[in-house]
Amino acid sequence: MVKMLRDKTGAGMLDCKIALEETNGNIEEAEKVLRKKGLAAAAKKAGRVAADGLIGHKVEGGTAVLVEVACESDFVAKTEKFLKVKDELTSFIFDHAALGDTADGNVEALVAMSPPRGMPHHGATIAECLQAFTGDLGEKTEVRRFARLVAGSGSAFTLYAHPGDKTVVVIETKGMPEDLSKDLAMHVAALAPQFANRNGVSAKALADEREIARAKAVAAGKPEAVAEKMVEGMIGKWYGEVVLLDQPFAKDDSKKVSQVVAERAGAGASVVRFVRFKVGEGIEKKGGDFAAEVAALIK
Protein backbone atom coordinates (compact mmCIF):
# COMPACT_ATOMS: atom_id res chain seq x y z
CA MET A 1 0.00 0.00 0.00
CA VAL A 2 2.89 2.35 0.74
CA LYS A 3 4.35 1.63 -2.71
CA MET A 4 0.98 2.20 -4.39
CA LEU A 5 0.61 5.55 -2.62
CA ARG A 6 4.16 6.55 -3.49
CA ASP A 7 3.59 5.72 -7.16
CA LYS A 8 0.36 7.71 -7.15
CA THR A 9 1.62 10.82 -5.35
CA GLY A 10 5.41 10.89 -5.64
CA ALA A 11 5.61 11.54 -1.88
CA GLY A 12 8.32 10.08 0.35
CA MET A 13 8.03 6.60 1.86
CA LEU A 14 7.76 7.78 5.46
CA ASP A 15 5.15 10.41 4.56
CA CYS A 16 3.09 7.75 2.78
CA LYS A 17 3.35 5.38 5.75
CA ILE A 18 2.22 8.07 8.21
CA ALA A 19 -0.66 9.15 5.94
CA LEU A 20 -1.89 5.54 5.65
CA GLU A 21 -1.73 5.11 9.41
CA GLU A 22 -3.73 8.33 9.92
CA THR A 23 -6.44 7.14 7.52
CA ASN A 24 -6.57 3.48 8.60
CA GLY A 25 -5.20 2.30 5.26
CA ASN A 26 -7.61 4.27 3.01
CA ILE A 27 -5.46 5.17 0.00
CA GLU A 28 -7.79 7.87 -1.33
CA GLU A 29 -8.00 9.59 2.04
CA ALA A 30 -4.23 9.20 2.50
CA GLU A 31 -3.69 10.91 -0.87
CA LYS A 32 -5.82 13.83 0.35
CA VAL A 33 -3.73 14.04 3.51
CA LEU A 34 -0.52 14.15 1.48
CA ARG A 35 -1.88 16.74 -0.93
CA LYS A 36 -2.98 18.93 1.95
CA LYS A 37 0.46 18.67 3.55
CA GLY A 38 2.14 19.26 0.22
CA LEU A 39 0.06 22.32 -0.54
CA ALA A 40 0.68 23.73 2.94
CA ALA A 41 4.41 23.23 2.50
CA ALA A 42 4.26 24.86 -0.93
CA ALA A 43 2.38 27.87 0.46
CA LYS A 44 5.15 28.47 3.00
CA LYS A 45 7.67 28.55 0.15
CA ALA A 46 5.65 30.87 -2.11
CA GLY A 47 7.48 33.96 -0.87
CA ARG A 48 10.93 32.61 -1.62
CA VAL A 49 13.02 33.82 -4.55
CA ALA A 50 13.27 31.32 -7.41
CA ALA A 51 16.35 32.74 -9.11
CA ASP A 52 17.81 29.52 -10.53
CA GLY A 53 16.43 26.94 -12.93
CA LEU A 54 16.69 26.08 -16.62
CA ILE A 55 15.52 27.30 -20.01
CA GLY A 56 13.41 24.74 -21.85
CA HIS A 57 13.66 25.07 -25.64
CA LYS A 58 12.30 23.51 -28.80
CA VAL A 59 12.62 24.60 -32.43
CA GLU A 60 10.92 22.56 -35.10
CA GLY A 61 9.64 23.66 -38.49
CA GLY A 62 8.18 27.14 -38.22
CA THR A 63 7.66 27.15 -34.44
CA ALA A 64 10.09 27.99 -31.65
CA VAL A 65 9.58 27.86 -27.88
CA LEU A 66 11.60 29.09 -24.91
CA VAL A 67 10.38 28.73 -21.33
CA GLU A 68 12.15 29.65 -18.11
CA VAL A 69 11.26 27.17 -15.37
CA ALA A 70 12.60 28.59 -12.13
CA CYS A 71 13.62 27.05 -8.82
CA GLU A 72 15.86 28.09 -5.95
CA SER A 73 19.08 26.16 -6.56
CA ASP A 74 21.17 24.67 -9.33
CA PHE A 75 21.16 21.38 -7.41
CA VAL A 76 17.39 21.01 -7.81
CA ALA A 77 17.52 22.24 -11.42
CA LYS A 78 19.66 19.20 -12.28
CA THR A 79 17.33 16.62 -10.72
CA GLU A 80 15.45 14.16 -12.90
CA LYS A 81 12.07 15.38 -11.60
CA PHE A 82 12.82 19.01 -12.43
CA LEU A 83 14.09 18.12 -15.90
CA LYS A 84 10.86 16.18 -16.48
CA VAL A 85 8.73 19.21 -15.56
CA LYS A 86 10.80 21.48 -17.80
CA ASP A 87 10.50 19.13 -20.79
CA GLU A 88 6.76 18.58 -20.29
CA LEU A 89 6.07 22.32 -20.15
CA THR A 90 8.23 23.01 -23.21
CA SER A 91 6.36 20.44 -25.30
CA PHE A 92 3.00 21.63 -23.96
CA ILE A 93 3.65 25.24 -25.02
CA PHE A 94 4.97 24.09 -28.40
CA ASP A 95 1.84 22.02 -29.09
CA HIS A 96 -0.71 24.67 -28.07
CA ALA A 97 -1.16 27.12 -30.94
CA ALA A 98 -3.77 28.97 -28.87
CA LEU A 99 -0.88 30.48 -26.88
CA GLY A 100 -0.15 32.48 -30.01
CA ASP A 101 2.94 34.08 -31.51
CA THR A 102 4.56 36.09 -28.75
CA ALA A 103 7.96 36.88 -27.29
CA ASP A 104 6.30 37.69 -23.97
CA GLY A 105 3.82 34.91 -23.23
CA ASN A 106 0.96 35.25 -20.77
CA VAL A 107 2.17 33.10 -17.86
CA GLU A 108 -1.07 33.49 -15.89
CA ALA A 109 -3.08 32.11 -18.82
CA LEU A 110 -0.60 29.26 -19.27
CA VAL A 111 -0.62 28.03 -15.67
CA ALA A 112 -4.43 28.20 -15.56
CA MET A 113 -4.59 25.55 -18.31
CA SER A 114 -5.10 21.82 -17.75
CA PRO A 115 -1.66 20.21 -17.29
CA PRO A 116 0.07 17.77 -19.63
CA ARG A 117 -0.36 14.13 -18.67
CA GLY A 118 3.36 13.64 -18.09
CA MET A 119 3.62 16.18 -15.25
CA PRO A 120 5.07 14.44 -12.15
CA HIS A 121 2.25 15.71 -9.92
CA HIS A 122 -1.49 15.85 -10.42
CA GLY A 123 -3.79 18.87 -10.30
CA ALA A 124 -6.62 20.55 -12.16
CA THR A 125 -4.23 23.19 -13.54
CA ILE A 126 -0.54 23.59 -14.26
CA ALA A 127 -0.39 26.00 -11.31
CA GLU A 128 -1.72 23.32 -8.95
CA CYS A 129 0.78 20.78 -10.28
CA LEU A 130 3.64 23.21 -9.72
CA GLN A 131 2.38 23.97 -6.21
CA ALA A 132 2.31 20.27 -5.35
CA PHE A 133 5.72 19.86 -6.96
CA THR A 134 7.03 22.70 -4.79
CA GLY A 135 5.80 20.91 -1.67
CA ASP A 136 7.42 17.65 -2.72
CA LEU A 137 10.73 19.05 -3.91
CA GLY A 138 11.18 21.52 -1.07
CA GLU A 139 11.90 24.50 -3.33
CA LYS A 140 9.65 27.06 -4.95
CA THR A 141 9.13 26.04 -8.58
CA GLU A 142 7.40 28.26 -11.13
CA VAL A 143 7.14 29.24 -14.78
CA ARG A 144 8.77 32.64 -14.86
CA ARG A 145 8.26 33.47 -18.56
CA PHE A 146 7.88 31.91 -21.97
CA ALA A 147 8.05 32.78 -25.66
CA ARG A 148 6.26 30.97 -28.47
CA LEU A 149 7.23 32.18 -31.93
CA VAL A 150 5.77 31.35 -35.34
CA ALA A 151 8.01 32.11 -38.32
CA GLY A 152 6.82 34.56 -40.94
CA SER A 153 6.85 33.87 -44.67
CA GLY A 154 10.39 33.15 -45.89
CA SER A 155 11.82 33.24 -42.36
CA ALA A 156 13.72 30.57 -40.45
CA PHE A 157 14.60 30.02 -36.80
CA THR A 158 18.05 29.24 -35.45
CA LEU A 159 18.69 28.14 -31.88
CA TYR A 160 21.74 28.60 -29.70
CA ALA A 161 21.66 26.99 -26.26
CA HIS A 162 24.74 27.66 -24.14
CA PRO A 163 25.92 24.46 -22.38
CA GLY A 164 23.82 23.96 -19.25
CA ASP A 165 20.68 25.62 -20.72
CA LYS A 166 21.11 28.72 -18.57
CA THR A 167 21.26 31.11 -21.56
CA VAL A 168 19.31 30.29 -24.72
CA VAL A 169 18.66 32.34 -27.86
CA VAL A 170 16.27 31.90 -30.79
CA ILE A 171 16.82 34.19 -33.76
CA GLU A 172 14.52 34.60 -36.78
CA THR A 173 16.25 35.54 -40.03
CA LYS A 174 15.51 35.87 -43.73
CA GLY A 175 17.84 35.02 -46.60
CA MET A 176 20.71 34.09 -44.30
CA PRO A 177 22.99 31.02 -44.41
CA GLU A 178 22.67 28.75 -41.38
CA ASP A 179 26.25 29.26 -40.19
CA LEU A 180 25.78 33.05 -40.09
CA SER A 181 22.46 32.74 -38.26
CA LYS A 182 24.21 30.53 -35.70
CA ASP A 183 26.99 33.09 -35.29
CA LEU A 184 24.41 35.82 -34.74
CA ALA A 185 22.54 33.73 -32.16
CA MET A 186 25.82 33.18 -30.29
CA HIS A 187 26.53 36.92 -30.55
CA VAL A 188 23.14 37.71 -28.99
CA ALA A 189 23.85 35.24 -26.17
CA ALA A 190 27.20 36.90 -25.45
CA LEU A 191 26.45 40.63 -25.92
CA ALA A 192 22.73 40.77 -25.00
CA PRO A 193 21.43 43.42 -27.44
CA GLN A 194 17.94 44.71 -26.69
CA PHE A 195 16.70 45.22 -30.26
CA ALA A 196 17.29 43.50 -33.60
CA ASN A 197 17.47 46.70 -35.66
CA ARG A 198 16.81 50.43 -35.30
CA ASN A 199 13.23 50.06 -36.54
CA GLY A 200 12.58 47.75 -33.61
CA VAL A 201 13.63 50.31 -30.99
CA SER A 202 10.58 51.32 -28.99
CA ALA A 203 9.51 54.97 -29.14
CA LYS A 204 9.69 55.22 -25.34
CA ALA A 205 13.22 53.82 -25.15
CA LEU A 206 14.43 56.27 -27.80
CA ALA A 207 12.63 59.23 -26.19
CA ASP A 208 14.10 58.39 -22.78
CA GLU A 209 17.59 58.13 -24.21
CA ARG A 210 17.23 61.45 -26.08
CA GLU A 211 16.11 63.12 -22.85
CA ILE A 212 19.18 61.81 -21.04
CA ALA A 213 21.51 62.84 -23.88
CA ARG A 214 19.99 66.34 -24.07
CA ALA A 215 20.39 66.82 -20.32
CA LYS A 216 24.07 65.89 -20.62
CA ALA A 217 24.56 68.33 -23.51
CA VAL A 218 22.87 71.17 -21.62
CA ALA A 219 24.94 70.42 -18.52
CA ALA A 220 28.07 70.76 -20.65
CA GLY A 221 27.04 74.35 -21.42
CA LYS A 222 27.16 73.97 -25.20
CA PRO A 223 25.28 76.25 -27.64
CA GLU A 224 21.96 74.82 -28.89
CA ALA A 225 23.26 73.87 -32.35
CA VAL A 226 26.28 72.11 -30.87
CA ALA A 227 24.14 70.47 -28.19
CA GLU A 228 21.85 68.92 -30.84
CA LYS A 229 24.87 67.43 -32.63
CA MET A 230 26.07 66.05 -29.32
CA VAL A 231 22.67 64.46 -28.75
CA GLU A 232 22.73 62.75 -32.16
CA GLY A 233 26.26 61.54 -31.48
CA MET A 234 25.25 60.07 -28.12
CA ILE A 235 22.20 58.40 -29.66
CA GLY A 236 24.43 56.83 -32.33
CA LYS A 237 26.73 55.49 -29.61
CA TRP A 238 23.70 54.14 -27.72
CA TYR A 239 22.50 52.32 -30.84
CA GLY A 240 25.89 50.62 -30.95
CA GLU A 241 25.29 49.28 -27.44
CA VAL A 242 21.67 48.09 -27.69
CA VAL A 243 20.91 47.33 -31.36
CA LEU A 244 22.17 44.03 -32.76
CA LEU A 245 22.99 45.30 -36.26
CA ASP A 246 24.88 48.30 -34.83
CA GLN A 247 27.00 46.31 -32.38
CA PRO A 248 30.62 45.30 -33.12
CA PHE A 249 30.52 41.67 -34.29
CA ALA A 250 31.57 39.32 -31.49
CA LYS A 251 33.89 37.30 -33.73
CA ASP A 252 35.48 40.35 -35.39
CA ASP A 253 34.93 43.61 -33.52
CA SER A 254 36.50 45.62 -36.36
CA LYS A 255 33.16 45.27 -38.17
CA LYS A 256 29.58 45.96 -37.25
CA VAL A 257 27.08 43.11 -37.38
CA SER A 258 25.32 44.87 -40.28
CA GLN A 259 28.58 44.80 -42.30
CA VAL A 260 29.09 41.09 -41.63
CA VAL A 261 25.51 40.31 -42.70
CA ALA A 262 25.97 42.29 -45.95
CA GLU A 263 29.28 40.56 -46.71
CA ARG A 264 28.22 36.99 -45.92
CA ALA A 265 24.53 37.04 -46.90
CA GLY A 266 23.93 39.98 -49.22
CA ALA A 267 21.74 43.06 -49.13
CA GLY A 268 18.47 41.08 -49.07
CA ALA A 269 19.23 39.27 -45.81
CA SER A 270 17.71 40.49 -42.58
CA VAL A 271 17.27 39.78 -38.87
CA VAL A 272 13.55 39.74 -38.14
CA ARG A 273 13.70 39.31 -34.35
CA PHE A 274 15.30 37.34 -31.55
CA VAL A 275 14.47 36.19 -28.03
CA ARG A 276 17.18 35.76 -25.40
CA PHE A 277 16.43 34.12 -22.06
CA LYS A 278 18.99 33.96 -19.27
CA VAL A 279 18.08 32.16 -16.05
CA GLY A 280 17.41 34.52 -13.16
CA GLU A 281 17.87 37.65 -15.27
CA GLY A 282 16.74 40.69 -13.31
CA ILE A 283 16.31 38.75 -10.06
CA GLU A 284 18.56 39.43 -7.10
CA LYS A 285 19.68 36.18 -5.54
CA LYS A 286 19.67 36.03 -1.77
CA GLY A 287 23.14 35.56 -0.42
CA GLY A 288 23.94 33.37 2.54
CA ASP A 289 26.23 30.92 4.23
CA PHE A 290 25.42 27.57 2.63
CA ALA A 291 27.41 25.59 5.21
CA ALA A 292 25.52 27.30 8.03
CA GLU A 293 22.19 26.56 6.33
CA VAL A 294 23.06 22.88 6.06
CA ALA A 295 24.21 22.78 9.68
CA ALA A 296 20.91 24.35 10.79
CA LEU A 297 18.92 21.74 8.88
CA ILE A 298 20.62 18.78 10.58
CA LYS A 299 20.35 20.11 14.16
DSSP string covering 255-290: EEHHHHHHHHH-TT-EEEEEEEEETTTT-PPPP--H
Indicate whether 12 and 93 sit together in one domain.
no
What pLDDT does 37 receive? Answer: 62
List, for residues 87-120, the tens digit of each pLDDT value.
999 999 999 999 999 999 999 999 999 998 888 7
Domain that holds residue 35: 2-45
Q: How confident is the model at residue 136 (pLDDT cuts 50, 70, 90)?
A: confident
Residue 148 or residue 208, greater confidence: 148
Indicate whether 52 and 104 sit together in one domain.
yes
Is position 290 within any domain?
no
Is position 297 within any domain?
no
Tell me how far apart the alpha carbons of residues 114 and 127 are, in angstroms, rounded to a whole number.
9
Q: Which of 128, 150, 172 is the last residue of a domain?
A: 150
Indicate whether 126 and 146 sit together in one domain.
yes
Cα–Cα distance list, 275 to 156, 209, 272 (Å):
14, 22, 11
Indicate whether 35 and 91 sit together in one domain.
no
Q: Which residues pair with 161 in a beta bridge?
A: 168
What pLDDT does 35 receive? Answer: 65
Indicate whether 7 and 78 sit together in one domain.
no
When divided into structural domains, the chain yields a total of 2
Where is 133: in which H helix or E strand? helix 126-137
Mean pLDDT within 251-270: 94
Indicate whether 30 and 20 sit together in one domain.
yes
Indicate whether 38 and 125 sit together in one domain.
no
pTM equals 0.77
Is position 276 within any domain?
no
Q: Which of 96, 122, 150 is the last residue of a domain?
A: 150
Indicate whether 33 and 124 sit together in one domain.
no
Is position 261 within any domain?
no
Is position 217 within any domain?
no
Indicate whether 28 and 54 sit together in one domain.
no
Q: Which amino acid is at 177?
A: P
Is position 23 within any domain?
yes
List, for residues 181-194, the tens digit of each pLDDT value.
999 999 999 999 99
- Residue 298 above 80 pLDDT? no
Indicate whether 33 and 125 sit together in one domain.
no
Is position 124 within any domain?
yes
Indicate whether 38 and 59 sit together in one domain.
no
List, for residues 55-68, the tens digit of each pLDDT value.
999 999 899 999 99
Is position 59 within any domain?
yes
Cα–Cα distance list, 54 to 87, 95, 103, 242, 250 (Å):
10, 20, 18, 25, 25
Residue 286 neighbours by CB distance under 10 Å = 9
Residue 251 or residue 294, greater confidence: 251
Tell me how far apart the alpha carbons of residues 114 and 101 are, in angstroms, rounded to a whole number.
20
Highest mean pLDDT among 35-39, 124-128, 130-134, 240-244: 240-244
Mean pLDDT within 241-254: 95
Mean pLDDT within 150-174: 96
User: Where residue 120 sits, what CATH number does that domain have?
Assistant: 3.30.479.20
User: Where residue 28 sits, what CATH number does that domain have?
Assistant: 1.10.8.10
Residue 214 or residue 11, greater confidence: 214
Q: Which of 123, 150, 177 is the last residue of a domain?
A: 150
Indicate whether 12 and 78 sit together in one domain.
no
